[in-house]
């Protein structure tokens, strides 16, 4: 175990039922529990909803399957340009839903098995803290030297009249029929992903977003490019739209919103209204006070660089931290804590600065590192490289969409600061470049890389022309 002041002041490990109790059987919790068990300690993992957590059951996995399933409509449209004679495609939603469910159930079962085969004691029930070393699971109290909270997050439900008429991403995956008309409230990851799936599946989709351009936090040019492409693909995006209420209509639901400050009463109707306004950490029912832990105003638990809470033997990982709500980050954090507590040597710190993420909108948006706006705040001279082109997949299509690539490079050191891609398979392309950035890649090193021709990815190693050099201080 590595640098643990907690252990010295506590009773010996054998006085507890377990060495480690992990609350939450999602990505971060399962990884932490498995790794700790492999390191030879006695671990219990508690779950109350589904093994595998949000990612497997109502998140990344079903979302990606729906994205793949719905995107065939675009492939069919492009195929015509290559000479295929195909009828107007139509998606049997109920087939897709059943297929996805089956796969999700299979994967959730895999999670049961991997915990069992690692020797983790699986406990089913709602867990809460009953002290610094005590966890209550449905009336039974168990003890451990260390506790890891990995309870994830749930969809935020804004306080709006009629919000009960909306569904969240959980409800989306349970939907047995495709809505003819859908309204999505929000402009983040989930909003653009679900809107893209429905639009590709043939629904009439409207995004109601309270801001100017979707995907706040991403590079501004990327956001503008994506918004334009989504609109060109038929998604109606109403911006500055402050939703006031949701009511039942004769057929479906009516959403009333203010399109601009001071203007009220604009209403649109749809068969389904999806609330995608963010996610809140699952901490409210944990009785954190029993272990002297105070969550912040959003419910997030604060931790130090080792994921230790204010109570030294209690750790927290994943979405309950409200840092980077991404499955691979939760996995890395879970693994870090297991090794930190029980491993032979200290684990390497997680490099949050080079975590790539992909929004599985259609087209995808992949980003790693800094945005141009973050480079401005950083205050050091940087170069911007951009490329917009029509990829080969689309050259014969009736409606062409530009792929957009952008790279930001520190002018003095030549180190790549950020890469952003909008286009087909952006996520697949980005993973390798994220690895290069973890290695501290410079622009000269990318230039020295021979491209794979003809691919979209090769553009990132052939960007010779500087679009502009920006000095934030001038």
Residues that bind ligand NDP (CB under 6 A): 158, 185-191, 193, 210-211, 216, 276-279, 325-326, 357-360
Judge residue 159's burial from the number of C-beta atoms within 10 Å of its C-beta, 0-12 exposed, 13-18 middle, 19 or more buried.
exposed
Q: At its nearest, how many Å lie between ligand NDP and the CB of residue 440?
A: 24
| Closest to 270 measured CA to CA, from 161, 140, 182 | 182
**Nearer Cβ to ligand NDP (175/415):** 175
Answer for the pair 222, 406: CB distance below 8 angstroms, yes or no: yes
- Residue 280 or residue 311: which is nearer to ligand NDP going by CB? 280
Structure-block tokens of residue 389: 């082109």
* Residue 155 near residue 275, CB atoms below 8 Å: yes
For the bound state, the minimum distance from the C-beta of residue 242 to ligand NDP, rounded and expressed in Å, comes to 7
CA neighbor of 313 nearest in space, from 131, 133, 127, 136:
133
In angstroms, give the least distance from the CB of 428 to ligand NDP: 13
Query: Nearer Cβ to ligand NDP, position 42 or 334?
Result: 334
Whole-number minimum distance, CB 219 to ligand NDP, in Å?
14
For residue 231, give the nearest of 401, 13, 25 by alpha carbon: 401
Q: What gap in Å lies between CA 225 and CA 210, rounded to an integer? A: 18
Min CB(279)–ligand NDP separation in Å: 4
Q: CB neighbours (10 Å) of residue 435?
A: 13
The Cα–Cα gap between 467 and 411 comes to: 13
CB of 328 to ligand NDP, least distance (A): 9
Kind of pairing between the strands at 140-149 and 314-316: parallel
| Nearer CB in complex with ligand NDP: 187/252 | 187
Backbone angles phi, psi at 21, to 5 degrees: -115, 125
Complex with ligand NDP: residue 97 or 155, whichever CB lies closer: 155
Q: Name the nearest CA neighbour of 191 among 176, 203, 208.
A: 208
* Shortest separation between residue 137's beta carbon and ligand NDP, angstroms: 27
The residue of the chain with the least Cβ separation from ligand NDP equals 188
Q: How far is the CB of 57 from ligand NDP (least distance, A)?
A: 14
Task: Tell me how far apart the terminal alpha carbons of the chain are, to the nearest angstrom.
Answer: 50
Query: Which one of 133, 225, 306, 453 is the catalytic residue?
Result: 453
Question: Which residue's CB is nearer to ligand NDP, number 13 or number 157?
Answer: 157
Smallest gap from Cβ 170 to ligand NDP, in A, equals 12
Look up 101 and say whether it is catalytic. no
Identify which of residues 191 and 314 has a Cβ nearer to ligand NDP in the complex.
191
CB closer to ligand NDP out of 154 and 339: 154
Cβ within 8 Å of residue 109, ≥6 positions away: 51
Which residue bears the tokens 């201080």? 473
CB 451 within 8 A of CB 464: no
Our CB check for ligand NDP shows the closer of 158 and 440 to be: 158
Question: Annotated active-site positions, please?
Answer: 453
């Amino acid at each position: 175990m590595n640098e643990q002041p907690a252990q010295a002041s506590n009773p010996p490990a054998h006085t507890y039922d377990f060495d480690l109790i992990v609350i939450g059987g999602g990505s971060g919790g399962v990884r932490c529990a498995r790794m700790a068990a492999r390191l030879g300690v006695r671990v219990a993992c508690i779950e109350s909803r589904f093994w595998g957590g949000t990612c497997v059951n109502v998140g990344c996995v079903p979302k990606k399957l729906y994205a793949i399933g719905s995107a065939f409509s675009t492939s069919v449209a492009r195929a015509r340009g290559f000479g295929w004679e195909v009828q107007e495609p139509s998606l049997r939603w109920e087939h897709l839903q059943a297929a996805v469910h089956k796969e999700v159930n299979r994967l959730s079962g895999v999670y049961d098995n991997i915990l069992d085969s690692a020797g983790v004691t699986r406990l089913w029930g709602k867990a809460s803290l009953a002290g610094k070393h005590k966890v209550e699971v449905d009336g039974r109290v168990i003890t451990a030297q260390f506790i890891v909270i990995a309870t994830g997050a749930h969809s935020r439900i804004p306080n709006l009249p009629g919000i009960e008429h909306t569904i969240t991403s959980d409800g989306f995956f349970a939907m047995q029929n495709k809505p003819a008309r859908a309204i999505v409230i929000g402009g983040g990851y989930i909003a653009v992903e679900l809107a893209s799936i429905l639009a590709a599946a043939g629904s009439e989709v409207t995004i109601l977003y309270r801001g100017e351009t979707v995907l706040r936090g991403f590079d501004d040019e990327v956001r503008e490019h994506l918004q334009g492409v989504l609109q060109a693909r038929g998604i109606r995006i109403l911006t500055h739209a402050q939703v006031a209420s949701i009511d039942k209509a004769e057929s479906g639901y009516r959403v009333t919103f203010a399109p601009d400050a001071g203007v009220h009463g604009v209403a649109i109707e749809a068969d389904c209204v999806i609330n995608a306004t963010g996610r809140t950490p699952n901490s409210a029912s944990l009785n954190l006070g029993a272990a002297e832990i105070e969550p912040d105003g959003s419910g997030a638990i604060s931790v130090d660089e080792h994921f230790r809470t204010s109570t030294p033997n209690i750790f927290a990982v994943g979405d309950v931290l409200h840092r980077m709500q991404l499955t691979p980050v939760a996995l890395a954090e879970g693994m870090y804590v297991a090794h930190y507590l029980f491993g032979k040597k200290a684990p390497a710190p997680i490099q949050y600065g080079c975590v790539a993420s992909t929004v599985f909108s259609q087209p995808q948006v992949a980003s790693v590192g800094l945005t141009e706006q973050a480079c401005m705040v950083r205050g050091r001279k940087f170069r911007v490289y951009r490329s917009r082109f029509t990829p080969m997949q689309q050259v014969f299509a009736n409606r062409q969409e530009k792929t957009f690539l952008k790279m930001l490079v520190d002018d003095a050191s030549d180190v790549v600061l950020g890469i952003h891609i909008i286009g087909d398979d952006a996520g697949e392309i980005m993973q390798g470049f994220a690895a290069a950035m973890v290695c501290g890649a410079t622009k000269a090193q990318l230039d020295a890389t021979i491209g794979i021709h003809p691919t979209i990815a090769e553009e990132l190693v052939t960007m010779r022309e500087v679009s502009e050099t920006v000095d934030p201080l001038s």
